Structure 1
Amino acid sequence: MIIIDKLGLNIKKFRNIKKLSLKELAKEIDVSPSMLSQIESGKANPSLNTLKLISKNLDVPMFTLFEEENKESAMIVKKENRIRITSGRTNSDKYQLSYDLLSPDMKGDIQLCEMKLSGFQYNSDDFNIHKGEEVAVCSLGKIELMLETGTYLLQNGDSVRIPSGTKHRWKNPGKEDCAIIFAISPPIF
């Protein structure tokens, strides 16, 4: 579940670190200053696309916006305590696209996440490109990896390495849910 209050506080914290006014950031992410103020105060829940724009404009990985201070030396993440970001319906069993952070935080050298897609969904409207190598394994169903050079079908258990700077996009080719577990180094998502 999205922790809206912590999300808003972190957005405000990183906005202040970047020395951006509420109005400046709102303009960059194409929302009204009033809407951004509501997000920062925990009164509104941003869409996944708005979260992506916020993290891009604040130069922080998206999951960093949900982090709480972790002062423990053990870094175990219980399934029920994962940070989850969803698109579409927000209850945990019904979604179009969801991301779970499997790493305890964004402080390490690698980030581990799980992405689930419901039937016939894409993970984004366009190709993604980022610094950092990504390794993914299909953990549920079948999923298509779309690159500029072609499309590849991964079945449950298949894995792939995507080099840094490679444009890519994921698609669920069927009506049943599918999922991948992916690692990115350095953490950028």
Structure 2
Amino acid sequence: MASSGNRRAAASAPAATPSTAPATPPRVGEQIQRLRNERKMTLDGLSRAAGVSKSMLSEIERDKANPTIAVAWRLTNALGVSLDQLFTASKAPEAISVAGPHDIPTLDGHDAKYQLRVWGPIELAGRFEWYELTLQAGGALVSNAHEPGTREHLTVLQGAMEIEADGATKRLKSADTARYVADVPHAIRNVGKGEAKALLVVIHG
């Protein structure tokens, strides 16, 4: 039978607190593989684009190896996402997500006097894309043939533009829309004296 002193000691002892299990680390490999598949990139393609060996990438995707920050940065850069997106990619999408002006990628062709603002989300790249195209006076966006069946739709918002595709040429004024084949070399030119703007939609074949 325990003595009264022992009973008092037992009563005053602090209750044991259950140990907290460590947080489960994000499955980075699964996220990279998912992002790669969404972009229809092969293991070889991502390996070349990121400068990471195919064997290392395979190990990472199977969660057999953890990438260093430098390797993770190269992979996310090749996939078109930020590092924080890599670690939050498994969260449920927001009902409404808002991208500010600084979140919109911009492609500048200084010599050709054009600017493309990429309004479409990266996960639709290669399937359905839309851009805001700005051409300075004398500027042009000249493109090689896209995949078979690809078409472009261009609506002039300001100024005057000329479309050239498959041997045909059409001139457009503000509020005109041109729909044309883009699986052949094609070009969009500013034929006015001032800046011209347009909405460009690309639907890949």
TM-score (norm 1): 0.55
Change in Cα spacing, 1:148 to 1:106, as seen in structure 2 (3 Å) is same
Task: Indicate whether 1:81 and 2:103 are aligned.
Answer: yes
Correspondence for 2:186 among 168, 171, 175: 168
1:33-182 equivalence runs, <5 A: 66-68=80-82, 69=85, 71=89, 72-73=93-94, 74-88=96-110, 96-107=113-124, 109-124=127-142, 127-131=143-147, 132-182=150-200
Q: Distance in 2 between matches of 1:174 and 1:65?
A: 38
Change in Cα spacing, 1:178 to 1:148, as seen in structure 2 (3 Å) is same
Per-residue Cα deviation, 1:107-156 (whole angstroms, up to 9, x for no partner): 375211111111111113xx531122211111121111012333211111
Does the aligned pair in 1 maintain the 2:129–2:201 contact within 8 Å? yes
Aligned residues: 129
Does the aligned pair in 2 maintain the 1:137–1:180 contact within 8 Å? yes
Larger RCO (CA under 8 A, 6+ residues apart): 1
Structure-2 residue corresponding to 1:185: 203
3-state SS, counterpart of residue 123 of structure 2: coil
Bigger drift between 64-73 and 74-83 goes to 64-73
Q: State the Cα distance separating 1:67 from its structure 2 match.
A: 3.8
Q: Distance in 2 between matches of 1:98 and 1:133?
A: 20
Does the aligned pair in 2 maintain the 1:75–1:104 contact within 8 Å? no
Structure with the greater alpha carbon radius of gyration: 2
TM-score (norm 2): 0.51
Q: Distance in 2 between matches of 1:140 and 1:106?
A: 29
Structure 1 unaligned runs (5+)? 1-13, 23-63, 90-94
Change in Cα spacing, 1:113 to 1:168, as seen in structure 2 (3 Å) is same
Structure 2 unaligned runs (5+)? 1-40, 52-77
Q: Aligned-pair RMSD on alpha carbons?
A: 3.5
Q: State the Cα distance separating 1:66 from its structure 2 match.
A: 4.3
